[in-house]
Amino acid sequence: MADAKDRSYPLDRIRNIGIIAHIDAGKTTTTERILYYTGKSYKLGNIDEGTTVTDWMAQEKERGITIVSAAVTAFWTPKDGPHKDIEARINIIDTPGHVDFTAEVERSLRVLDGGVTVLDAEEGVQSQSETVWRQADKYKVPRICFVNKMDKLGADYFATLESIRNKLGAPAYPYNIPLGKENDFKGVIDLLTRKAYVWDETDKTGMKYSEVPIPEGAKADMEKYRHELVEKIAEADDVLLEKYLAGEELDVNDLKAALRKSVIEYKIVPVMAGSSLRNKGVQPLLDAVVDYLPSPMDKAEIEGTNPKSGEKEVRKQTVEAPFAGLAFKIQVDPHVGKLTYVRIYSGTLKSGSAVANSSKHDSERIGRLLLMHADKREEIQEAYAGEIIAVVGLKNTGTGDTLSDPQAPIVLESISFPEPVISLAIEPQTKADQEKLGYALGRLSEEDPTFRIKGDPETGQTIISGMGELHLEILVDRMKREFQVSANVGSPQVAYRETIKQIAEGEGKYIRQTGGHGQYGHCLLRVEPLGRGEGFQYVSEIKGGRIPQEFIPSIEKGVKEKMEIGVLAGYPMVDMKVAVYDGSYHDVDSSDIAFKIAGSMAFEAAAKKANMILLEPIMNIEVTIPEEFMGDVIGDLSSKRAQILDSSHHGNAVIVKALVPLSEMSGYVTTLRSITQGRGSAYMEPSHYEEVPGNIADKIVAKTKGETKES
């Protein structure tokens, strides 16, 4: 194994990969097997026993789910193929499958070069598989599919292959096919080399596997799928295509080299079979990661923007180029404080050096550099292009910020995150807790870009918002454990939004006469509705100096503050354009504060005339149930204002897909369990915002106004 001190690893031997999938597809178990076979851990980690390396948080061990993406480094030497006997360094990020932690997946994919998508051989492509696949598409991440759980009852490799092609629209081709399935799953057949590998049943670790003759019954399938794969590989390479059309037998190494090129260009997604829990099929997957997923060298350049000129700029991903890296994750560590995970794209980073935060036009000093192995760490003095490391000592760097050489600044593409859909009120129990609460919330929101905090000035409560009930539950739990904050928590509230349906105008005049200078601000605004998700636009149509230029931003500030607290029922306002088109000023008395107040007044007056409505988050829900409960479950969903989209059979189960308002789904998992005698499962993710029906909106508005009066 490479000496940890000899760290200048050749770039072409580095693989930065992520393990991504639907919840319960077996990502963490697959990662654990990879760490075991590469010698990073000496014991097979087990989720049920809480002994996994990458699920190291107490909440992860208790619940058996991944919450934060964990970064680990491992080394692997393929025994065969184009990279035979050459040790590769694999930086692996194990990402969460639960939609509440979608930010973890998003930021991991942004900094990875390749991905392994793990699928359940019985369930096939599920909702979250589609979500993470689209996230990977957004960042153009080349992938390998690993069809896991081939030993499970109902496992069907070829049906899963079809669902990858149909549901994900992916150019998926088998790279190996399974030998047997369910209890008879023994091993795999490598299509390119026409070799079959079987794992030794007496070896409980799965370390031992051997080549065996291909069974007669499997030869026809092997030739059929090999022909498909070879044809697709040859299509992308003119020299191979010529030989293939001439009927020549193609050299396996040439095929592998051409396949690597096709995988990196996303023309082919190789599909592989295995069972991580039963320790079968993981070593061929590791070989394929080294052979086919890109190294940092395969994407020779990264694009960014020069912060000084605003021009596009290209930087070579080499150690010789000036330093550039992206901070993609913040983690609060009880021992060393704030850890900032950085993917280094170019150049070298030394501990103690000064760097520019080009996203914030700020400068930072690098403290210690750490190589991470989940929650264990190894201190290093220097880090190089292509690496993923953690930095201690950065003060103002947030998720998505670019760090660069002060002499050669560059801003790389940042990371976008979805808006929260659910909120709850939180109150400290004692005065001592009050001080700790602010600190804890600040640290947790630094870590998690989908976690938002705001104070409610009317009730004195703090409102926290996130991606789902589980997300908020984990955050409150972490406050208690990590920051020792005791707090009373309200029941989860849906994050409604307010908007308008028509164009309207309003006037705001703020005049105060006091001794000496008075206050004078006067403006006229027009509000217009925008399409869903288009956000907020502010324009000035002031001509002839009716309002001096310096007061235009003050009006916008007043408008934004009013939008934040809402006009109809106290919810933030979205999707509208605001234009300031007229007004007047006073030479002596006009000020920023007067125009800010006038802007707020004019906006409220205009909004009230613009046919205001409430919007509510609509969720995509997928319910998997035994067939006999289908009628009851659909009836129950319909009573919750659900729009049933589709129902399909998968083995003995029925999968119902629907769109349903989040406000109707409180405690749904418990309801579903009681309807289906504990045999149903539901998966939910945010879809979009939609208008709340009038009668329900009236009740929400009346309730909010009632609460405001009481307080």
Nearest to 567 by CA among 622, 533, 525, 522: 525
Q: Determine whether the annotation assigns residue 499 to a binding site.
A: no
| The pair of three-digit structure tokens given for residue 456, joined into one six-digit string | 């409610």
In the chain, helix, strand, coil percent, each to 5? 30, 30, 35
Q: Please, which residues bridge with residue 320 across strands?
A: none
Q: Determine whether the annotation assigns residue 103 to a binding site.
A: no
CB 422 within 8 A of CB 493: yes
**Distances 83 to 14, 110, 138, 283, 289 between C-alpha atoms, Å:** 12, 26, 29, 14, 11
Strand ranges in 568-699 using DSSP code E only, listed in sequence order: 576-584, 612-626, 643-650, 653-661, 681-691
Q: Please, which residues bridge with residue 174 across strands?
A: 271
**Distances 698 to 422, 470, 661, 692 between C-alpha atoms, Å:** 20, 29, 16, 9
Q: Which residues contact 567 (CB under 8 A, 6 or more apart)?
A: 498, 573, 604, 607, 608, 612
Q: Cα-flanking dihedrals φ and ψ of residue 630, to 5°?
A: -60, -50
Q: Determine whether the annotation assigns residue 98 to a binding site.
A: yes
Q: Determine whether the annotation assigns residue 96 to a binding site.
A: yes
The amino acid that residue 403 corresponds to is L
Q: Which residues contact 539 (CB under 8 A, 6 or more apart)?
A: 577, 578, 579, 580
The amino acid that residue 568 corresponds to is L
Q: Determine whether the annotation assigns residue 21 to a binding site.
A: yes
The Cα–Cα gap between 123 and 167 comes to 13
Which ranges of 25-101 would DSSP assign to H, the alpha helix?
27-37, 58-63
Q: How many residues does the chain have?
A: 711
Q: Determine whether the annotation assigns residue 348 to a binding site.
A: no
Q: Determine whether the annotation assigns residue 150 to a binding site.
A: yes
CA atoms within 13 A on the CB side of 357: 19
The Cα–Cα gap between 508 and 371 comes to 57
Strand ranges in 11-87 using DSSP code E only, listed in sequence order: 14-21, 70-76
SS3 for 199-267 is ECCCCCCCCCEEEECCCHHHHHHHHHHHHHHHHHHHHCCHHHHHHHHCCCCCCHHHHHHHHHHHHHCCC
CB 230 within 8 A of CB 250: yes
What phi-psi label fits residue 333: left (phi over 0), alpha (psi between -120 and 50 degrees) or beta?
beta
Q: What angle do CA 97, 39, 14 make, to 5 degrees?
A: 70
Residue 15 C-alpha from the chain's centroid: 20
Q: Determine whether the annotation assigns residue 148 to a binding site.
A: yes
The Cα–Cα gap between 591 and 588 comes to 8
Q: Determine whether the annotation assigns residue 22 to a binding site.
A: yes
Q: Determine whether the annotation assigns residue 28 to a binding site.
A: yes
Nearest to 302 by CA among 418, 381, 404, 407: 404
Q: Which residues contact 82 (CB under 8 A, 6 or more apart)?
A: 253, 256, 257, 260, 291
The Cα–Cα gap between 336 and 333 comes to 6
The alpha-carbon radius of gyration of the chain (Å, integer) is 29
| The pair of three-digit structure tokens given for residue 344, joined into one six-digit string | 């280094």
Q: Please, which residues bridge with residue 391 across strands?
A: 340, 369
CB 263 within 8 A of CB 270: yes
Q: Determine whether the annotation assigns residue 299 to a binding site.
A: no
Q: Determine whether the annotation assigns residue 149 to a binding site.
A: yes
The Cα–Cα gap between 354 and 368 comes to 12
Q: Determine whether the annotation assigns residue 151 to a binding site.
A: yes
Q: Determine whether the annotation assigns residue 94 to a binding site.
A: yes
**Distances 526 to 129, 355, 578, 579 between C-alpha atoms, Å:** 44, 45, 6, 5
Q: Determine whether the annotation assigns residue 23 to a binding site.
A: yes
Instruction: Provide the annotated binding site for GTP.
Output: 21-28, 94-98, 148-151
Instruction: Provide the annotated binding site.
Output: 21-28, 94-98, 148-151
